[in-house]
Amino acid sequence: MLLNENRFFPINENSRSIAQRLFQEVEKLPIISPHGHTDPYWFAKNENFTNATDLLIIPDHYVLRMLISQGLKLEDLGVAKNNEESSKKDRREIWRLFAKNYYLFRSTPSRLWMNHTFEKLFGINKTLNEKTADYYFDHIGECLKKDEFRPREMYDKFNIELLSTTESALDDLKFHKSIKQSAWSGKVISTYRPDNVIDPDFDGFIQNIFKLAEITEEDITTWSGYLNAHKKRREYFISLGTTASDHGHPTANTADLSQSEASELYQKVITLKADNNEKELFRAQMLTEMAKMSIEDGLVMQIHPGSYRNHNTGIFDIFGRDKGFDIPQRTSFVDALKPLLNLLGMDIRLKIILFTLDESTYSRELAPLAGVYPCLKLGPAWWFHDSPNGMMRYRELVTESAGFYNTVGFNDDTRAFPSIPARHDVSRRVDCAFLANQVAKHIILEEEAKDIAVELAYKLAKVSYKL
């Protein structure tokens, strides 16, 4: 057995037995996955996945980064260079390399997710290591050939009720359309992610703006045309089921410029005359513009600030984005959000979900802000903090000022489709552990904890994301 039935529960027996009872209330609830990065192509085409390495190693930046940190190289792990379509590396050899180094993942969430996938999805009970590497590779390969391991069948097996992917503002959502038109009952929606047409530092920003103009038939040489283009794109996303937007800015800065100031700034930005401060101001103003649109069209905003993307220039130049070299940075919210909150923060039609990679902001800034502004809700522990200890710290640092009802349940936020049930399992167990400790310390009653557990595992995600 790779998984113990009491994993992540409190060590104390009394508290553990409370956690067990709470977990019974939530274990079998359907999964709501309101924010993530799976590929809608999978669900549209429903083709079989090919092998363990392409499914579980190459696209998983958590796995890549740990192996790289110990001296392995991206090219040896099958990661394609920018000028290659795909790596020619032998998939079995890569898997063996992973197996040999699997001990490195001890006590990391990657191992928890992997072991869950191995046992629950592929029915494996042996530990992964050098000796079992080939067995794993072969067994998983066999499984993946079967119909029951195709994306739609997995989705159903995982008991997913709704899955949201994330697409850029320029995406045609053709796979979402095709899923919608299909006979399959699975619900896969998109999230409006306009960073590539908002962030002047994004690769190909100007080309993206031109593409935006083309798609929307708006005159993006004017500020109002540019805003209209966003509105049209949001409408289009909404028409296919989208309920949220997502904004991955370097900071949480917002602004409240007059329309003439904003218009002038926009002219600088699209004529490449904006300096770094002006680019940042533009991103800041655009968060406020997105909030204004949200009040009109109802999209829930998500703000994911504070990641220093592509920290290593050499790796970025050779291999591109999302290879494990994004590093969290100190983040501020109090001054940063003030312009937006002053303008719109008391409007109960607005919903903004905040995420952070800077845990020092949980108790200092985020819980106090979400604990008073009706528009603000707190997203779950994110990315590096999406782990048993990270989730526990989140509840411990956030709950006393923000309560439970200013949080939004769990996001798996993953590219790794097979890990979705593993991640929700960790989250539900850790929340039950937190609640069990609260009961054991006589802060809440067990009956209340049961209610709350269901909110955290299921209901809050539906309400918060308007699903």
**Which residues does 332 contact at the CB level (< 8 Å), separation at least 6?**
251, 252, 361, 365
The residue from 225, 363, 415, 459 that contacts a second copy (CB under 8 A) is 363
| Residue 188, phi then psi, degrees to nearest 5 | -125, 110
**Kind and range of the H or E element at 167?**
strand 167-168
- Options 29, 80, 104, 215; binder of a second copy; rule CB under 8 A: 104
Judged by beta carbon, residue 95 or residue 394, the one nearer a second copy is: 394
65 touches a second copy (CB under 8 A): yes
Q: Which of 144, 440, 454, 463 binds a second copy (CB under 8 A)?
A: 440
Question: Least distance to a second copy from the beta carbon of 4, Å?
Answer: 4
Only segment of 33-41, 218-226, 232-240, 365-373 that touches a second copy (CB under 8 A): 365-373
Question: Binding marks (x or -) toward a second copy, 405..434, rule CB under 8 A?
Answer: xx----------------------------
Give 126-140 as a DSSP string.
SPPSTTTHHHHHHHH
Residue 77 Cβ vs a second copy, minimum distance, rounded to whole Å: 13
Q: What angle do CA 223, 225, 231 make, to 5 degrees?
A: 110
Q: Does 453 bind a second copy (CB under 8 A)?
A: no
Instruction: For residue 353, give the amino acid letter.
Output: I
| Residues 2 to 21 in contact with a second copy, rule: CB under 8 A | 3-4, 6-12, 14-15
CA atoms of 355 and 382, how far apart (whole Å): 7
**Residue 395 belongs to what H/E stretch?**
helix 388-402
Find the shortest distance in angstroms from Cβ 310 to a second copy: 11
Question: Residue 258 carries which DSSP code?
Answer: -
Q: Helix H segments across 77-162?
A: 91-100, 109-116, 133-145, 151-157
For position 277 contacting a second copy by CB under 8 A, the verdict is no
Q: Could you tell me which stretch among 202-210, 247-255, 263-271, 345-353 binds a second copy (CB under 8 A)?
A: 345-353
Decide if residue 108 touches a second copy (CB under 8 A).
yes
By CB under 8 A, name the one of 33, 164, 387, 407 that touches a second copy.
Answer: 387
Closest CA to 128 of 180, 52, 181: 52
432, 453 contact by CB (below 8 A): yes
Q: Which of 404, 410, 458, 465 binds a second copy (CB under 8 A)?
A: 404
